[in-house]
Amino acid sequence: MIGAGACGLTAVKALTDARLSVQCFEKSDRVGGNWVFKNKNGLSSAYRSLHINTSRERMQFRDFPMPKHYPDYPKHDLIARYFQDYADAFGLARQIRFETTVERAVPRAEGGFRLTLSHHAHDSPGSPCSSSTVEDFDALVVANGHHWDPAWPEPAIAGEFSGLEMHSHAYLDPDEPHALRGKRVLVVGMGNSAMDIASELGHPGVAEQVFLAARRGAWVLPKYAFGKPIDQGTVIPSFVPARVRRALAELWFRLAVGRLEDFGLPKPDHHLDQAHPTLSSDILTKLGSGDVRAKPALIERDGERVRFADGSVETVDAIIYATGYKVTFPFFGTDVVAPRANDLPLFLRIFPLDREDLSFVGLAQPVGAIMPLAEAQAKLIAELLTGTYELPNGAERKRRTERERAEMFARYVPSRRHTMQLDYEEYLASLAAETRAGRARARHRAARAGSPGAERRP
């Protein structure tokens, strides 16, 4: 296993529960990945004020509820503590080798992978490593996260800027790593990083002026609806057809939130359910107060000046690109796994189409939290590795993956951030159905072979 963030942890648990021999390698000195503020691994994108935007009940693992005294949307330190508690409760650290980076993962001719590992005890990742070893494994589970490698605008915005340019990945607070108080700051993007950072800098007395550049409108959802976290259930029953649900949701948005154009934002060019949700209960107030000013797409940089698609020009001290992340696997050669523009086709968003000794956990972008989905994915991987679940044949995996991808690309706005979108409830239901089907395949195969496994029931 590579990585002991939220998704890796639940996989360590599922595989250990299935009595598999598991070894997880973790670059950091602790579990929790992205949720460890200033994580020693240098990969965390958490800022000091970060709170989850998927509510506690949506995000918690099904077999380890978050403490009842946690608020609906806890801050990063409580979330990091929760993952540490999860690891402690199930003794997962025994399976994790910390301060160990997987540098290379090379397929072996006989199946499985050869890993080259570097060990960083007493120094930090990135510094010359103290030792390097090679170890072989029959199967590899990858949970290295996909929100740590900054994606900058491609192609770069025209011109050159003489002020400070940074990516949201590096942002910690208005003072760190760069002094932004009293400055004029442009934030680029309409995702959740852009909302949080623009709102924080736009708080009275922080930045002098914040601009928010949107190349596309987004339905900015509040964190609460009807007095409850917005992701906790819906008043629209599930038997209502999707198109009607969409229309009702948009009607609700119009009544409860209003028209985004009235806040200076572009009108979304898509329906509410056609983009990864952008949530903020702060940004519209900041826009309405003038502390944040909405701008269309940034098209040119010229010294201290920035030009926008409507021809307007502003002078700014800093640009923060909240333009998302790249999906990267530095340990794989391009002949093994090579995502193209963040796109990596996987059966059930878990299994590569051409091999059974490799799987991915948490490599998805759900409408809803990733943790319970990763928990379900990990259980299925454990069943595959113990033989109680059997994958469909290669042609069937390819056919279904192509169909699901076609549906996803048809539904979502074309964007590098919409290459692995999942709908929370639908996905959990489809995993459950596929688990039942794959167990039946495994039983039939065992029965045909007349092996003792024919009697085995999961």
Ligand X SMILES: NC(=O)c1ccc[n+]([C@@H]2O[C@H](COP(=O)([O-])OP(=O)(O)OC[C@H]3O[C@@H](n4cnc5c(N)ncnc54)[C@H](OP(=O)(O)O)[C@@H]3O)[C@@H](O)[C@H]2O)c1
Ligand Y SMILES: Cc1cc2nc3c(=O)[nH]c(=O)nc-3n(C[C@H](O)[C@H](O)[C@H](O)COP(=O)(O)OP(=O)(O)OC[C@H]3O[C@@H](n4cnc5c(N)ncnc54)[C@H](O)[C@@H]3O)c2cc1C
**Residues binding ligand X (CB under 6 A):** 50-53, 147, 153, 168, 188-194, 196, 215-216, 276, 322-325, 365, 415, 417
* From 4, 198, 230, 318, residue interacting with ligand Y (rule: CB under 6 A): 4
Q: Which is nearer to ligand X, 113 or 360 (CB)?
A: 360
Least distance (Å) from ligand X to the CB of residue 452?
45
The binder of ligand Y chosen from 102, 283, 320, 380 (CB under 6 A): 102
CB-nearer residue toward ligand X: 10 or 192: 192
CA 94 to chain centre: 26
Interatomic CA distance for residues 367 and 379, integer angstroms: 21
Residue for token pair 């973790």: 26
Which option in ligand Y, ligand X, none does residue 25 bind, with CB closer than 5 to 8 A by kind? ligand Y
CB hemisphere CA count around 413 (13 angstroms): 17
Residue 148 contacts which entry, ligand Y, ligand X, none (Cβ below 5-8 A, type-dependent): ligand Y
> Residues with Cβ < 8 Å from 397, sequence gap 6 or more?
347, 351, 353, 391
If the CB atoms of residues 168 and 388 are measured against ligand X, the closer one turns out to be: 168
In the chain, the amino acid numbered 254 is R
Residue nearest to ligand X (CB): 191
Taking the complex as a whole, how short is the minimal distance between the CB of residue 71 and ligand Y, in angstroms? 13
The residue (of 281 and 386) whose beta carbon lies closer to ligand X is 281
Nearer to ligand X, 305 or 355 (CB): 305
Q: Give the nearer residue to ligand X in terms of CB position, either 26 or 282.
A: 282
Q: How far is the CB of 289 from ligand X (least distance, A)?
A: 21
Cα separations in angstroms, 172 against 23, 115, 142, 166, 324: 33, 33, 27, 11, 16
Residue 451 to residues 93, 390, 440, 447, 448, Cα–Cα distance (Å): 36, 15, 15, 6, 8
Output b/e per residue, 161-178; b: 16+ Cβ within 10 A.
Answer: bebebbbbbebbbbeeeb
Instruction: Provide the CB-side half-sphere exposure for 320 (13 A, CA).
Output: 32
Q: Which of 12, 15, 28, 140 binds ligand Y (CB under 6 A)?
A: 28
Q: Quote the least distance from Cβ 273 to ligand X, whole Å.
A: 14
Q: Which does 188 bind (CB under 5 to 8 A by kind): ligand Y, ligand X, none?
A: ligand X
Could you tell me if 329 and 142 are in contact, meaning their C-beta atoms sit under 8 angstroms apart? yes
Choose the one of ligand X, ligand Y, none that binds residue 189, judging by a C-beta under 5 to 8 angstroms depending on kind: ligand X
The H or E element containing residue 61 is none
φ and ψ of 372, to 5 deg:
-65, -30
Residues from 351 through 410 that contact ligand Y (CB under 6 A): 362, 369-370
Residue among 16, 34, 95, 359 that touches ligand Y (CB under 6 A): 34
According to the binding rule CB under 6 A, does residue 5 interact with ligand Y? yes
Closer residue to ligand Y (CB): 33 or 296: 33
Straight-line distance from the first to the last Cα atom of the chain, in angstroms, rounded to the nearest whole number? 24
x/- mask, ligand Y, residues 177-206, rule CB under 6 A, reads: ----------------x-------------
Q: Which residues neighbour 303 within 8 Å (Cβ) at sequence distance 6 or greater?
A: 160, 161, 162
Nearer to ligand Y, 148 or 161 (CB): 148
Q: Does 113 bind ligand Y (CB under 6 A)?
A: no
Q: Give the range of 5-13, 64-72, 341-349, 449-457 binding ligand Y by CB under 6 A.
A: 5-13
Q: Give the one residue of 13, 18, 26, 180 binding ligand Y; rule: CB under 6 A.
A: 26
Q: Which residue has the tokens 């639908």?
A: 426
Q: CA 266 → CA 190, 221, 271, 405, distances in Å?
A: 10, 15, 13, 28
Which residue stretches of 219-352 are H helix? 242-256, 283-289
Instruction: Report d(CA 283, CA 198) in Å as an integer.
Output: 7
Alpha carbons 96 and 103: distance in angstroms, whole number: 16
Taking CB within 5 to 8 Å according to partner kind, which of ligand Y, ligand X, none is near residue 197?
A: none
Nearer to ligand Y, 14 or 446 (CB): 14
Interface residue with ligand Y, options 1, 16, 22, 41 (CB under 6 A): 41
Pair 298, 306: CB distance under 8 Å: yes
The whole-angstrom separation of Cα 72 and Cα 53 is 9
Nearer Cβ to ligand Y (26/434): 26
322 binds ligand Y (CB under 6 A): no
Minimum distance, C-beta of residue 11 to ligand X, in the bound complex (Å): 19
Our CB check for ligand X shows the closer of 266 and 438 to be 266
Contact partner, 14, from ligand X, ligand Y, none, Cβ < 5-8 Å per class? none
Q: Which residues is 125 bridged to in the sheet?
A: 127
Number of residues forming the site for ligand Y (CB under 6 A): 35
| List of residues contacting ligand Y (CB under 6 A) | 2-8, 25-28, 33-35, 41, 43, 45-46, 50, 52-54, 59, 101-102, 143-145, 147-148, 193, 331, 362, 369-370
